[in-house]
Chains A and B, each alone.
Chain A
Amino acid sequence: MTSIRRWLLAALLAALAVAGLAAAAATYFSARDEVDTLLDEELRQVALSLRDHAVLDLRRLESVAANPDQRVLVQIWDPAFDRPYVSRIVGDGPMPRTEEGYVTLVHAGRSWRAFALYTGRQLIQVAQPTALRTELAARTAWRLLMPVLVLLPFLGLAGWWIVGRGLAPLGRITSAVKERSPTALTPVPSDGLPQEIRPLADSLNDLLARLDQSFSLQRRFAADAAHELRTPLTALNLQVQLAERAQGDEDRARAFERLRQGIRRATRLVQQLLTMARLDPDAAAAPPAAVEVGTLVSSVVDEARTTARERSVELACRDTSGGATVSGSEDALRILFNNVVDNAVRYTPPGGRVSVACQRDGDNVQVAIEDTGPGIPEEERDRVFDRFYRGRSAAGSGTGLGLAIVSQVAEMHRGRVALETAPAGGLRVLVRLPVLAAESASTH
């Protein structure tokens, strides 16, 4: 596992070391230049001062043994002598004669910087090992580099502590998240967080808030569902007891028929609950497909024909939508139209009529389902879309979920459901769904 702390520290120390070395190198080269100028001048001065002593009498001068303390080597050539005077003996013989001016040469296995000056018949040479210059420059560079090297371990310790301090808010968030239980979705404290970590805390809190909302929706749905299941269970419980104490075949048959109705109703409620749970927006994972509304509505109407015949309800369907398609889930839309058509057929008294019309209306497909049933009073029309709301006129076996499902599916498809009074006095349900974008563009 990578550690930000270790990485930061290593990178910082390495950068510091590189910077120190670079500075030392730069210092070395510039110091070397200065030392060159300075010592060259020194060589010249020595040579000039020797010349100014007029003609040197080489007989009075004596060579001395090599003395390392002597910074310069002086060599004087005179035509009167076959050997030059040397200030100290270095190597096997004298340094060769050179042209007047500065020169760098190798003598006795070492590199020398020499200055030569002609005075009439004598040649004065002043020389110095170049190693001296390198040493001086290196010493200057070292003086600069040494404190950096000494400070590095201390900087390392300080850096370890400082980076640790800087990362402390991360640790606080981690422990705040670690300590919470899966159901406690309160936001983590984001006050006083540095601006680098604040976005993390904020987006974490945003996620927590959305989770909390979705959890409480689920919880409310589960609570509502459990509550709603009580009604059919109560009915079943009572119906079983009546069946148990029924006397005579006729009573018993009636009790069992009621029991069957009760079971049908509980089953239907459970199915609707499942449908509702599957329609949950988060669960809608399937990619949207193109659905031809007219064809879908016709097939839903065909399925309802048996029930309609049993109830002696006339069922008609007209499709003038011209194959208009919407984008969405065919299964969900089938559930929508199934619910509306089924409701219309069930609430229409025998001899009544249910008519379904599907047509194109601008950028929408509009499906109108009309019946000749009792309708829904105007004051109840908003509430019937609420989950588990059951209208006053609703016959016993409704689950209170049908229209909630209808409006949820319509919303999923960015459509609308409206309730109106049909011309014949019953209910008219208007479902409007926007047609596929590509298709609506091509018609304009």
Chain B
Amino acid sequence: MRILLVEDDSMIGESVSEGLKAEGYAVDWVRDGQEAEVSIAATPYSLVVLDLGLPRRDGIDVLKGLRERHVDVPVLVMTARDTVRDRIKGLDAGADDYLVKPFDLDELTARARALIRRAAGRSEPVIERGALIINPATREVTWQGTAVALSAREYALLAALAERPGLVLSRAQLEEKLYGWNESVGSNAVEVHIHNVRKKLGDGVIRNVRGLGYTLASE
């Protein structure tokens, strides 16, 4: 699950980015409106966390531009502008949710989860795929009735595959969902994570689809 963070303040940006990474998301962080537009055009993000007071191009303009081009990535706006009128303006410009500074990291990650879940067309907070149950809020994974402890990347891998039933993701797509720009990715990193997940949950949990990539075993 890859998130674009648009925030010009380095301290806030660093903290939010760190907090989101700790939740298992891949985070790309840009500092101005133009870079944000370029990044969104180039990468399929699960969520954009957008600050409104941005240099070069205002957050509201970025948001309007996105919606005009029919990019329907969920957008969580975070801003210090907190009047009701500002919030209405933000939501009307195409924001999916609104977070007023200062905010809690927990609230940010909870709202991020909700937005990603909604965008995937689910309303229940827990994902069930056959014997596999994933709780994004607690990042707990249950396989055939027993809780399994996974690393952040392993969890992100399972969550990405479980996003929609029957979803098949290539190695490159998985890599894109698991890693931000600044992270160095070993050539077989995805295979290593898949190997580890299979070791913990059993070989049957992830299936190879020849020529296409990987999918979760159905039932």
Contacts and interface: CB of A to CB of B under 8 A. Distances in A.
A265 interface: yes
A238 B16 contact: yes
Contact of A238 (B8, B19, B55): B19
B92 interface: no
B9 A238 contact: no
A232 B8 CA distance: 13
B106 A262 contact: no
Given A231-B12, A396-B10, A241 B55 contact: no
A235 interface: yes
Nearest to A227: B80
B15 interface: yes
Interface in A182-235: 227, 230-235
Contacts of B15: 235, 238-239, 241-242, 258
A134 interface: no
B68 interface: no
A230 B11 contact: no
A347 to B, nearest CB: 14
Contact of B12 (A238, A245, A395): A238
A234 B104 contact: no
A231 B101 contact: yes
Nearest to A266: B11
Interface in B54-104: 55-56, 80, 101-104
Contacts of A395: 10
A237 B56 contact: no
Given A230-B101, A231-B80, A238-B105, A396 B11 contact: yes
A397 B11 contact: yes
A241 B12 contact: no
Interface string A387-401: 000111001110000
A140 interface: no
B136 to A, nearest CB: 17
A261 interface: yes
Contact of A241 (B8, B56, B80, B105): B105
A237 B103 contact: yes
A265 B11 CA distance: 10
B19 A242 contact: yes
A2 to B, nearest CB: 53
A239 B103 CA distance: 11
A230 B78 CA distance: 12
Given A242-B18, A258-B15, A392-B32, A234 B102 contact: yes
A241 B102 contact: no
Contacts of A235: 9, 11-12, 15
Nearest to B102: A234
Contacts of B11: 232, 235, 239, 258, 261-262, 265, 396-397
Nearest to B105: A241
A381 to B, nearest CB: 15
B22 interface: yes
B18 A237 contact: no
Contacts of B56: 392
B14 interface: yes
Chain A interface bracket (under 10, 10 to 19, 20 to 34, 35 or more): 20 to 34
A241 B14 CA distance: 13
Contacts of A392: 8, 32, 55-56
Given A241-B104, A242-B105, A392-B56, A231 B16 contact: no
A238 B11 CA distance: 9
A313 to B, nearest CB: 21
A227 B9 CA distance: 14
A401 to B, nearest CB: 15
Interface in A234-289: 234-239, 241-242, 245, 258, 261-262, 265
Contacts of A262: 11
Contacts of B55: 391-392
Most chain B CB neighbours (cut-off 10 Å) among A230, A233, A258, A395: A230
Interface in A358-404: 390-392, 395-397
Most chain B CB neighbours (cut-off 10 Å) among A238, A239, A258: A238
Given A227-B80, A258-B15, A237 B10 contact: no
Nearest to A380: B55
A391 B8 CA distance: 10
Most chain A CB neighbours (cut-off 10 Å) among B8, B9, B103: B9
A106 B12 CA distance: 122
A237 to B, nearest CB: 4
A345 B148 CA distance: 53
B102 A230 contact: yes
Given A261-B11, A395-B10, A230 B80 contact: yes
Most chain A CB neighbours (cut-off 10 Å) among B9, B15, B18, B80: B15
Interface of A: 227, 230-239, 241-242, 245, 258, 261-262, 265, 390-392, 395-397
Give the top 6 A-B pairs by smallest Cβ distance, nearest first.
A396-B10, A238-B15, A235-B11, A234-B102, A234-B101, A392-B55
8 contacts: A230-B101, A235-B15, A237-B102, A237-B105, A238-B15, A392-B56, A397-B10, A397-B11
Given A235-B9, A265-B11, A396-B10, 15 more contacts: A230-B101, A231-B80, A231-B101, A233-B102, A237-B102, A237-B104, A237-B105, A238-B12, A241-B19, A241-B104, A242-B18, A258-B14, A262-B11, A390-B8, A392-B55
